[in-house]
Amino acid sequence: MDIYGKYFGWILMQPLLPRNKSKQLNKTDIFFNKKKITMATINPYFNFHGNTEKVFNFYKSVFGGEYQMVMRYKDAPPEHQMGESDGEKIMHIALPIGEHTILMGSDWPEAYGKPIEGSNVSVSISADGREHADKLFNGLSAGGQAAMPMSDTFWGSYFGMLKDKFGFNWMVSYDENTQS
């Protein structure tokens, strides 16, 4: 079954929802054949050429809210720093723009050259466990190219990056600290 997004899925699955009025459901509860489906969370991730902070300040003025995280390259452990010229640039920024959606981004390190317009977008998918993250990563990378295999990171997530066989960039992550 193709999942078309939490809210679209919510609308599509209305006839399949259990009719027990005593149980409150929310828009992230999706059912198929009366069984609850575990859904991964998908968020857009943009790469910019040195102007991420300016871009995200604009997005913040439009969407409102507060940044969930702002990390600069200089804040990374020494073995992960990209170089002095990238120190003040954004390594990761996250702006919640809805109940379940986070707009994320970073500055493309100079060592990687200028990002190519159209390939500077990734889909970030948050799994509900390590096994789920591995399954997603292995499935999406089949026939594609793993840029960074799934591993524990210094920022605390189990994380990997890949380009699928159709040329789309994906970031797969699991973070125990954000699980409820």
Q: Please give the helix or strand (H or E) that residue 35 lies within, else none.
A: strand 35-37
* 139: enclosing H helix or E strand: helix 130-141
- Average of per-residue pLDDT across 9-32: 42
Residues 75, 18 share a domain = no
Residue 1 lies in a domain: no
Q: 155 is in which domain, residue-wise?
A: 41-178
Same structural domain, 174 and 124: yes
Q: pLDDT tens digits for 23-64?
A: 444 444 555 556 665 667 888 998 888 899 999 998 998 888
Identity of the amino acid at 75: D
Per-residue pLDDT, averaged over 88-104, amounts to: 90
Number of structural domains (the chain) is 2
**Nearest by Cα to 95 from 129, 132, 75, 124:** 124
